[in-house]
Structure 1
Amino acid sequence: MQFYTYDYIVQRSQFNDIALYVLSFLALIALLFATFKYFRNRLVTRYRDLIVIFVLAVAFLGGTQWNSFNQTKADSEQTSRMAGFLHTLGEEMQTPPEEIHTNSTHLKQGMLVEVQGKYYEILFNSDFTSFKYEETHLMTRDVKVVDKDS
């Protein structure tokens, strides 16, 4: 079973899709080059065909980036909610959030947290604005803590 640290959860919100940006940039440069060549010599139809191919490539990569952007936005929102929860739980248990480990990277019913060697099950209300916790015991002690450096 994996438990995540506060630092790992906060670090997850960082955005790193550099390869997709590089591909999009190269496809856009190729599109501009083919368009320039086509307008210089309109009788050569291969440039027109290249323009169609590059327009489709740019549209595909743009759609992929839009999807990635939306996913990153949702992950960032979940991370923000989880960080807020860990701060609140830390205040409640008089423990810094950095010393709390959780088995989920986003808020969910029945998630487990480890605080000072004790495990607690967290139960939320229907809109995740309040919670209660009670001590629980794990069937197995095979716990791996995932930190931001892992």
Structure 2
Amino acid sequence: MTFYAESYFKQQQQLESIINYVVIIILLLLIIFNAIRYLHHRLRSRNRDLGIIFFLLLLIFTGLQITNLEHDYYQHTQSLQMRPFIQAVARDHGLRASQVVVNSTTLTDGILVRF
């Protein structure tokens, strides 16, 4: 069973979002590069086709990022409730907040609290 300390709620890493942002930026740069090449060589349809492919990939990754942002926002609002809960339990038992861990990232019934 996994337990989470207060520090987990302070520093949640969103590596997946960072990777999606990097992919979106790379795709935007590829679209701009292909648009410039297409304007110089209008007779080559390869550049136009690559631009369309990169644009469609950009739309897919942008949609994934929007979905991830909505999920992260919901999860963030749920975990905002956990820090005051952990601090209240620590205060009630005369402990530091770093000594209290819980088995859930959201405030629900049936949470196990370990000192």
1:85 aligns to what? 85
Higher helix fraction (1 or 2): 2
Q: Residue type of the partner of 1:27?
A: L
Structure 2: tracts of 5 or more residues without a match = none
Structure 1 length as normaliser, TM-score?
0.67
Q: How many residues align?
A: 114
* d(CA) in 2 for partners of 1:32, 1:95: 56
Report the structure number with the largest CA radius of gyration. 1
RMSD over aligned Cα atoms: 1.7
Amino acid at match of 2:15: N
Give the strand-richer structure, 1 or 2: 1
1:40, distance to aligned residue in structure 2 (A): 2.1
Identical columns (%): 29
- For 1:40 and 1:51, locate their aligned partners in 2 and report how far apart those are by CA, in whole Å: 14
TM-score by length of 2: 0.84
Offset from partner CA, 1:95-142 (integer Å, 9 cap, x none): 222111111121111111123xxxxxxxxxxxxxxxxxxxxxxxxxxx
Equivalence map 1:55-74=2 (5 Å): 55-74=55-74
- 2:14 aligned residue: 15
Question: Is the Cα contact below 8 Å between 2:104 and 2:111 reproduced in 1?
Answer: yes
Question: Is there any run of 5+ residues in structure 1 with no aligned partner, and where?
Answer: 116-150
